[in-house]
A and B are shown apart, each in its own frame.
Chain A
Amino acid sequence: MANPHTNQPAHVKHYFVSSEQQFDAAKMGMWLFLVTEILLFSGMFVAYTIYRSWHPETWTALSTALDWKLGGLNTIVLLASSFTVAMGINQIQRGNQKGLLINLVLTFVFAGMFLVVKYFEYSAKFEHGLFPGAAFDPHGVSHGFDYATYNVPYGPQFFSIYFVMTGIHGFHVLVGMGLFAWITVKALKGRFSAEYYTPVENCGLYWHLVDIIWIFLFPLLYLI
C-alpha cells in the first residue's frame, strides 16, 4: 500500500523521507513530553521534601494513616500493567495482532484496578475527615484507633501533599486508560503491524512513566 508519489508505505507522512525517520521523530517527541511530565511532578516532590524536612515527626506520624498494604497492592498492579504493555509491544513487533489486543486489554484492566483501590483509599480518608488544608478535621474511631490523634500542626500539609500528588498521578492513570482504549480500538481495526506500531510504543512509554512515578510516590508517602 505504498504512496506512489513518495514510494514510501502509506503510513509515512509526506514530510518524512522514511518510516524510520518518522518513528524516530515520534519516539523523540514522546521522550521530550515525558521529561516535561517529570518536571511537573518534580515541583510536588520538592514541596514534599521541604515540608518533610521542616516537620519530620509530623510526617512520620501521619504517614501511618496511609494503608501500605493497599499501596503495595497498587504498586504490584501497576508493575503488572507495565509488563503487559511491554508484552503487547513485543507481540506486535512479531506481527501478532491477537497478542497485542490481549495485552492492551489487560493493561487497561490493571489501570482500572489501580483506580478502584484508590477510590477505596480516598473514601476511607474522607470518612474520617482527612481532607487537604483548611478542611482537615480528623475524627472518628476505627479499629480501636482514634483519628483525632492526627490533629497536629502541619498535619493538613501532609494530606494536601498526599492528595495533590496522588490526585495528579491518578489523573494521569485515567488519561492512560483513555489512551489504551483508543489504541485498543485501532488495534481491533487492524491498524497496527510489525511495520507500524508507533502509537502503541508511545503509549507504552507514557505508561512506564506513570508507573515509575508511582514507584517513587509509594515509599515516600506510605513507607517512611
Chain B
Amino acid sequence: MSHSAPGLHYLNHDKGFKSWALSLDHKRIGVMYMVAVSLAFLAGGILAILVRLELLGPGETIMGPDAYNQSFTLHAVLMIFAFIIPAIPAVMGNFVLPIQLGAKDVAFPRLNLASFYIYLIGAAIAMTALVNGRIDGGWTFYAPYSTSIGNGILFVTAGVFVMGFSSILTGLNFIVTVHKMRAPGLTWNRLPLFIWSIYATSIVQVLATPVIGITVLLLFLEKALSIGIFDPALGGDPVLFQHFFWFYSHPAVYIMILPAFGVISDLMGTFSRHQVSGYKFVALSSVAIAFLGFLVWGHHMFVSGQSAVSSIVFSLITYLIGIPTGVKVINWVQTMYKGSVQLKSPMLYAIMFLFTFSIGGFTGIMLGVLAIDVHLHDTYFVVAHFHYVMMGGNVIAALGGLHYWWPKIFGKMYNEFLAKIAAALVFIGFNVTFFPQFILGAQGMPRRYYDYLPQYESLHALSTYGSWILAAGLFLIAGYLIASLISGKKAGLNPWGALTLEWTHTTTPPDHHNFHDTPVVTRGAYDFHLAGHLFQNGGEVSELDLGGDGAANTPDEAPVPHEPAH
C-alpha cells in the first residue's frame, strides 16, 4: 500500500494561486464554489434585509418604489440562479460525490473547472444589469413588460444563459461519473441516498436547463431585434412566454430541493445510526419526483387564461407529486424512530428540515387546489410557501450538510455549542420571518408590492424583526466556521461515525487523489447493523490502514510515516 507523506492532503499538497485557480481536483473546485455561492448568498441576503427593512412600515421607509422593485428582483435572481441552483450540487456534490463512489475524480475534471468559470462569468454578467439599465417586476421577467423597460434585460438574460451552461455541464459530469466510475461492488442499491438525489437532480438539470436557455435567448432577441414572438403589439403571445418560462422553472425547483433531500437522507442515516428506512422507495422517489416535475408547470399559470381542462390536469398531477415527497418524509421519521438519535448540530438542521419543509410542501399542495389558488395567487401566501421550501428546505439542508462535511473538507471542528445557538436563531428567525407571511397572504396582501394598507403593518413588522434574528443566526454561523479554520480543533478521521466511503476510506482532509487503492465495496451505505462486526475497537470508525499492518485503522494507531510511493 502506498501513501502520501503524512500530513499531506488536497489542501496543502500544492500551493499558490495557480494551483487553485487551475486546479482540476474536484475537492478544490468544490471549495472554490463554496466561496463563490456564499458571496452570492451574502449579496442576495443583504438585498433581502433591505427589502424587509423597507416593508417595516407602509409608505417609504428607506427607499423609493423604483429601488424597491429592483431590489426584490435582483434578490431573487441572485438567490435562485447564483446561489440555490448551484449550491448543494456544485459544493457538496463536487466534493463528496466522487469519494462516495470510490472514484478519484469526476468523469470530466476539465469540464468541471470550466463549469466553475462559466458560473462566475454568468453571475458577473447578470450583476452588470444593476448598472446597465434596470430590471424590475420580479425574477420571472414576463414579456412584454420585461422587454419594454430598458436594456437591463439583455444582461440578465445573457447572464442566466451562461449560468445555465454551468448547471448543464455539472449535471452531465455527475451523470457520467455515477454511471461509469463506481467502485467495484458499489451496486445501485448500495449507493448513498445523497448520490441518488444528485443523480436525479442532474437528470433534471440536463433536460430542463436548455429550455430556459432557449427562453432567455428568445427574450434577448425579442428585446434586441423585436422579433415579435412574445410581444402582442408585434403579433406575439405573452402567455407563450409563461409556458416556456415555467416549463424550465418548475423542474428548476426540483433541482433545488432534490439535493437537499439527499443531504437529509445521509444525515438521518448517520445521526440515527440506522439504515435509512425504505431505502428503495426513497431512492426511486427522487427519480419519480424528477419525472413528475416536468408535468406540472401550468400550476403557476392557473390565472393566466389557460383552459380549465389543462388547469385541472396540472392540478391533479401537482397533488401526485406530494406522494413520493411524503414517502420520503415518513421514511426519515421512521429512520429516527428505529434508531439511536444523536442531536449534533447537523442533525438539528435535519430535524428542523422535517418541520419547515413539510409546511412548505403542504402549502404547495394547497396552492395546487384551483379554488384556493384563484384567491392566493400573487399574494404573500405564495411568497411564504416558496421561502418555506427554498429556505426552510434547501438552505436548512445545506446548512446541515455544511456542518456535517465541514470536518472532512477542512479537517477542523467548529464550536458545537455556538452551532447549536446559531441553529436555534436560524429556526426561530426563519419562522418569525415567514410564518406571518402566510397570514398576510390569506388576508389579501399582494406580493411584489412596495406599499400596503395599514391593516397589514403589524404582521409585516413582525416579519422584519424575524429577518434580523435570522440574519444574526447566519452571521454567527459564518463567524464560528471561519474561526474554526484558524483555531478550530483538528478533526478526527470520522467524528460522526458514518459509514459512507468519504468517512471510512479517506483521511481527514482527504488525500489529493482520494484513494490510493480503489475501495472494494461489500456493504450498503447505512449498514449500521454491521458496524460492530466491521469496527471491533469502538471509537473512531475507519477502514483505512494507517497503521500499515494490513488491518483497518484503530483509534490508538497514530499515522506511521511511510516512504511516498511517487
Contact = CB atoms under 8 A, between A and B. Distances in A.
B207 A15 contact: no
Interface size class of A (residues with CB under 8 A): 35 or more
B172 A17 contact: no
Contact of B210 (A39, A133, A160): A39
A37 B176 contact: no
Nearest to B110: A13
Contacts of B206: 32, 35-36
Contact of A164 (B208, B218, B244, B566): B218
Interface in A9-44: 13-17, 21, 24-25, 28-29, 32-33, 35-37, 39-44
Interface string B197-224: 0000000001111110111011001100
A46 B241 CA distance: 12
B214 A40 contact: yes
Given A36-B209, A132-B225, A156-B228, A29 B104 contact: no
A135 interface: yes
Interface string A163-198: 110001000000000000000000000000000000
Contacts of A47: 218, 229, 240
B107 interface: yes
A224 interface: no
Given A40-B213, A44-B214, A164 B240 contact: no
Contacts of A33: 168, 172
A36 B207 CA distance: 6
Nearest to B207: A39
Contacts of B215: 43
Nearest to B221: A164
B234 A134 contact: yes
Contact of A21 (B106, B111, B181, B222): B181
Contacts of B103: 15
Nearest to B226: A134
A24 B180 contact: yes
B180 A28 contact: yes
A24 B108 CA distance: 12
A164 B211 CA distance: 15
A96 B109 CA distance: 31
Interface in A110-168: 132-135, 153-154, 156-157, 160-161, 163-164, 168
A13 B215 CA distance: 37
Contacts of B222: 133
Given A28-B180, A39-B211, A15 B226 contact: no
A133 B240 contact: no
Interface size class of B (residues with CB under 8 A): 35 or more
B211 A32 contact: no
A160 B214 contact: no
B514 to A, nearest CB: 9
B178 to A, nearest CB: 11
A5 interface: yes
A37 to B, nearest CB: 7
Contact of A25 (B181, B234, B244, B518): B181
A153 B218 CA distance: 21
A134 B232 CA distance: 12
Given A5-B566, A36-B168, A29 B226 contact: no
A25 B213 contact: no
B236 A157 contact: yes
Contacts of B226: 132-135
Contacts of A25: 107-108, 176-177, 179-181
Contact of A14 (B104, B108, B177, B228): B104
B513 interface: yes
Nearest to A157: B235
A7 to B, nearest CB: 13
B104 to A, nearest CB: 4
B537 to A, nearest CB: 32
B225 A135 contact: yes
A109 interface: no
B180 A15 contact: no
A183 to B, nearest CB: 17
The CB with the most chain B CB atoms within 10 A, among A36, A156, A157, is that of: A36
A18 B400 CA distance: 37
Nearest to A160: B227
A134 B147 CA distance: 14
Contact of A133 (B107, B179, B225): B225
B175 interface: yes
A50 interface: yes
B173 interface: yes
B228 A160 contact: yes
A39 B203 CA distance: 13
B176 A156 contact: no
Nearest to A50: B240
Interface in B54-103: 103
A133 B228 contact: yes
B228 A32 contact: no
A29 B237 CA distance: 36
Contacts of B225: 132-135
Contacts of A13: 109
A67 B179 CA distance: 46
A134 B214 contact: no
A98 B350 CA distance: 61
Given A15-B109, A39-B210, A47-B240, A32 B172 contact: yes
A160 B107 contact: no
Interface of A: 5, 13-17, 21, 24-25, 28-29, 32-33, 35-37, 39-44, 46-47, 50, 132-135, 153-154, 156-157, 160-161, 163-164, 168
24 contacts: A5-B566, A15-B103, A15-B105, A21-B181, A25-B179, A25-B181, A28-B176, A29-B173, A33-B172, A36-B172, A36-B206, A39-B207, A39-B208, A39-B210, A41-B214, A43-B214, A43-B244, A132-B225, A133-B227, A156-B227, A156-B228, A156-B235, A160-B229, A164-B221
Given A15-B181, A43-B215, 8 more contacts: A24-B180, A28-B175, A32-B175, A33-B168, A43-B214, A46-B244, A133-B225, A157-B228
Which 10 pairs of residues, A with B, have the shortest CB-CB distance? A43-B214, A134-B226, A133-B228, A133-B227, A39-B210, A160-B227, A15-B104, A15-B105, A40-B210, A25-B180
